[in-house]
Structure 1
Amino acid sequence: MTTTPGEHRYEVKNRTERFVGRVFTVVTDEIVMPDGRVAPRDYVRHIGAVGVVALDDAGRVVLIRQYRHAVGRTLWELPAGLVDVAGEALPAAALRELGEEADLTAGQVDLLIDLHPSPGASTELIRVFLARQLAEVPAEQRHERRDEEADLEVVRVDLDQAVTMALAGEITNAACVAGVLAAARARDADWAPLRPADAPLPG
């Protein structure tokens, strides 16, 4: 763990894996607090994810509506998915998800934001990219969607309208809220805040 001079180092005295799955592992760490006490902390160790704010030439963002069983309802989201292909670079993973979920490719990809959606309970880091110069994937090359993805809906929404939806509570998915707000801010700054797609991960 990285610390700055004078900062307490939260030493892990013991670690217990409670559950090991394909996407995440549930862990209990016993860590040393600043006053010397040892306290347990439960969290999810997650493999990570990518998301894509895909903007077309008309300034519309590509959103999907997908059922999420944990919350028991359909949410507005970005094309997104797990970092679960060995050796795959994150920009390539984002383009793969854009193709699989929205039948689109992109001629330009930049890094928009990085976020920890639930740092009090999970190690998950989502890297969100901005994709432009969109084109349709030919029909014969499109991904066959299954399970919840078979029912997803793909919609293009004006970026400013998507911001309004986020502020109104219509969009609650963390990556989607952060992505559309960041994209609108970057657009208003003439894209100056964008980073290269292969920029180092935080931390």
Structure 2
Amino acid sequence: MDFVEKTVNKELIYKGNITEYWVEKVLLPNGKKADREIVKHDGAVAIMPFTADGKMVFVKQFRKAIEKTILEIPAGKIDATDKEPAETGKRELEEETGFRAARFELETSFYTSPGFTNELVYIYRAEGLTKVDQPLAQDEDEFIEILTLSFEEAWEAYEQQLIIDSKTVFALFYWKLTRQTKN
């Protein structure tokens, strides 16, 4: 069976600074029509920054959409000026944490919720961190605190539901998996 849904018509409902909202009328494989509400996003990059002593750097910030302060790995939206996701990641790492990394490697990428958005997040591992004397400035609407946590401390934050977003939960389970393979 062919599962492809052919777009018959699409309408831009709203264009914001980060996302666009579309309603697409599609032709289903069975010949019927349906509406699909789609959020278009340029994508994002998240970084798992590891310190020399094996800890991970997190940012603590308030997230209005869920009305909660949470811990996250550093991350940011891919800008039109970025030539590749690694460029976004390196910039965001420095802006949010004040660190640069000697090693910056792509681990994976994933779609956050393909049922309604095309947002693709790239996850990088950063090692060999050095503090920058005059780092790139944070976004002016960004208020964050930097935390460096051991695996046990991060896992406790997860159990306390301070780590709850998909990219950071992924990073935590990735960290757990890599610790198990080393033992």
TM-score normalised by structure 2 residue count: 0.91
Counterparts of 1:50-61 in structure 2 under 5 Å?
50-61=45-56
Counterparts of 1:31-180 in structure 2 under 5 Å?
31-138=26-133, 141-149=134-142, 151-180=143-172
67-76 or 22-31: bigger deviation: 67-76
Partner of residue 18 from structure 1, selected from 9, 13, 21: 13
Q: CA deviation at 1:144?
A: 2.7
Q: CA deviation at 1:168?
A: 4.7
Aligned residue identity for 1:145:
Q
Supply the distance in 2 between the matched residues of 1:111 and 1:177 (Cα, whole angstroms): 17
- Structure 1 residue runs without a partner (length 5+): 1-5, 191-203
Contact 1:160/1:184 (<8 A) preserved: no
- RMSD over aligned CA atoms reads 1.7
**SS across alignment from 1:99:** helix
Aligned residue identity for 1:66:
Q
Aligned residue identity for 1:182:
Y
- Structure 2 residue runs without a partner (length 5+): none
Task: Give aligned pairs, total.
Answer: 182
Supply the distance in 2 between the matched residues of 1:144 and 1:87 (Cα, whole angstroms): 17
**SS across alignment from 1:112:** strand
Contact 2:44/2:119 (<8 A) preserved: yes
**SS across alignment from 2:167:** helix
Q: CA deviation at 1:90?
A: 1.0
Supply the distance in 1 between the matched residues of 2:58 and 2:24 (Cα, whole angstroms): 37
Partner of residue 182 from structure 1, selected from 171, 174, 177: 174
Which digits, 9 at most, give the CA deviation of each residue in 1:141-174, with x for residues without a partner? 222334442x210000112432343355321111
**SS across alignment from 1:189:** helix
Contact 1:163/1:184 (<8 A) preserved: no
Aligned residue identity for 1:94:
G
Supply the distance in 2 between the matched residues of 1:168 and 1:36 (Cα, whole angstroms): 48
160-169 or 28-37: bigger deviation: 160-169
Of Structure 1 and Structure 2, which has the larger fraction of its residues in strand? Answer: 2
Supply the distance in 1 between the matched residues of 2:107 and 2:172 (Cα, whole angstroms): 10
Supply the distance in 1 between the matched residues of 2:82 and 2:73 (Cα, whole angstroms): 23
15-24 or 165-174: bigger deviation: 165-174
Contact 1:46/1:124 (<8 A) preserved: yes
TM-score normalised by structure 1 residue count: 0.82
Percent sequence identity over aligned pairs: 24
